[in-house]
């Protein structure tokens, strides 16, 4: 049975290629097996298996039926209470051209779904962390820190803050770009200043927590409007998560989500930076650079621009003192047995992850 819709609406026709064809949904039934469906979006992208979930939609493996290129396809129900996919696609367009920003191939809607077709990337840093038995060497953490800081700086240069910095939202590239860190998921991003005048958004309090509590800044827990300082503080917690294997405020139990957030906030504020960055059973590292980083983040004013170069230099100096080489060989590259990375079942956002680990 072939079902044909009359048209496909391109939500960003001035930004992405317009497809002047009738999209087709082909449904093939096999009496001996479960009914299978071949779905096409945008006229030329075949929808495959589900590979994860983003903050506001599901992610599928797809393929360009003309070029055979594999892609990631993100779907969001048009009836969702707060549609975000079209907004996110516009942000990807705004960010396009930046290093480590995925390319959007097409966006529009099909039937009951908003659709965004994107460049297929490799596994997330959370997936790779699990692949490496939840232990990263100091060298790998420092290599990642350098690139992750640059991605955040670029987003800030485009007048937006990400507001959900976490390992799941950083992916490695594929093939020749296998050593490049990408940043994804702008579903919670917010404009923090006017592009023309650079007027900053006003300071506010009593805000609900936006993002992921584990990595949220202290000020975010306190209900203060987020700004650039909060993104880089969140990155500091991500780096310590990689260094330690776990954070002191993980695994806390509570009856409600609000109570759990409160417990995380209390533990986070009650853990001195020196203690967080000090020796840990699963890591032996010089704590000074990471402690200096977090103290700097906490010292920033609401509207203050972080000194990204200074922060990168902190980690580069430590990198050189340790005698490491910028060969972009990460821990997962050193694993002798290549195996497919399977997304973590704990991950709330398992992005387009289908990479074979390459030696």
Tokens describing residue 87: 């907004």
**117 contacts: CB under 8 Å, gap ≥ 6:** 41, 42, 45, 62, 71, 72, 73, 74, 104, 105, 106, 107
Q: What is the DSSP string of 237-279?
A: HHHHHHHHSS-TTTT---SSHHHHHHHHHHHHHHS-HHHHHS-
105 annotated as ligand-binding: no
Q: Within 13 Å of residue 228, how many CA atoms lie on the same side as its CB?
A: 24
Nearest to 250 by CA among 212, 207, 284: 212
Q: Which listed residue (10, 127, 164, 331) is catalytic?
A: 164
Tell me how far apart the alpha carbons of residues 42 and 68 are, in angstroms, rounded to a whole number: 15
Q: Is 168 a catalytic residue?
A: no
Instruction: Name the burial class of residue 58, with classes exposed (0-12), middle (13-18) and buried (19+) by CB atoms within 10 angstroms of its CB.
Output: middle
> From residue 142, how far is each of 23, 242, 248 by CA, in Å?
46, 10, 21
Tell me how far apart the alpha carbons of residues 62 and 354 are, in angstroms, rounded to a whole number: 11
Assess contact for 108 and 89: CB atoms under 8 A: no
- Print burial letters for 31-45: b (CB count within 10 Å at least 16), e (below 16): eeeeeeeebbbbbbb
Tell me how far apart the alpha carbons of residues 137 and 284 are, in angstroms, rounded to a whole number: 9
Assess contact for 180 and 100: CB atoms under 8 A: yes
Tell me how far apart the alpha carbons of residues 53 and 74 are, in angstroms, rounded to a whole number: 8
**245 contacts: CB under 8 Å, gap ≥ 6:** 134, 135, 280, 282, 283
Residue with tokens 């821990």: 331
Assess contact for 261 and 209: CB atoms under 8 A: yes
Q: Which residues are catalytic?
A: 164
Q: Which residue ranges make up the annotated binding site for ATP?
A: 74
Q: Residues annotated in the binding site, as ranges?
A: 74
């Amino acid at each position: 049975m072939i079902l044909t819709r009359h048209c496909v609406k391109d939500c960003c026709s001035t930004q992405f290629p317009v497809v002047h064809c009738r999209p087709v949904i082909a449904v093939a039934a096999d009496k001996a097996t479960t009914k299978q469906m071949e779905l096409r979006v945008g006229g030329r992208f075949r929808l495959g298996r589900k590979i994860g979930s983003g903050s506001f939609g599901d992610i599928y493996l797809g393929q360009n039926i003309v070029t055979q290129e594999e892609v990631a396809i993100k779907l969001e129900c048009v009836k969702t209470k707060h549609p975000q996919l079209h907004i996110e696609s516009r942000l990807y367009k705004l960010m396009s051209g930046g290093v480590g920003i995925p390319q959007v191939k097409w966006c529009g809607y099909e039937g009951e779904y908003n659709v965004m077709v994107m460049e297929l990337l490799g596994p997330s840093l959370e997936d790779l962390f699990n692949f490496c038995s939840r232990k990263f060497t100091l060298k790998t953490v420092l290599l990642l820190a350098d690139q992750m800081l640059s991605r955040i700086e670029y987003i800030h240069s485009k007048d937006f803050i990400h507001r959900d910095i976490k390992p799941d939202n950083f992916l490695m590239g594929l093939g020749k770009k296998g050593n490049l860190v990408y940043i994804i998921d702008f579903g919670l991003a917010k404009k923090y200043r006017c592009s023309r005048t650079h007027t900053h958004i006003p300071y506010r309090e009593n805000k609900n927590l936006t993002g992921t509590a584990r990595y949220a800044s202290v000020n975010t827990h306190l209900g203060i409007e987020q700004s650039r300082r909060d993104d880089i503080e969140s990155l500091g917690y991500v780096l310590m998560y990689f260094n330690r294997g776990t954070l002191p405020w993980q695994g806390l139990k509570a009856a409600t989500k609000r109570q759990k957030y409160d417990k995380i906030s209390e533990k986070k504020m009650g853990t001195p930076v020196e203690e967080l960055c000090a020796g840990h059973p699963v890591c032996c590292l010089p704590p000074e650079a990471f402690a200096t980083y977090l103290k700097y983040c906490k010292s920033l004013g609401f509207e203050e621009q972080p000194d990204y170069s200074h922060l990168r230099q902190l980690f580069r100096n430590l990198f050189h003192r340790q005698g490491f080489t910028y060969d972009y060989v990460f821990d997962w590259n050193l694993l002798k047995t290549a195996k497919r990375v399977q997304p973590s079942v704990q991950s709330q956002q398992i992005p387009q992850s289908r990479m074979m680990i390459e030696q």
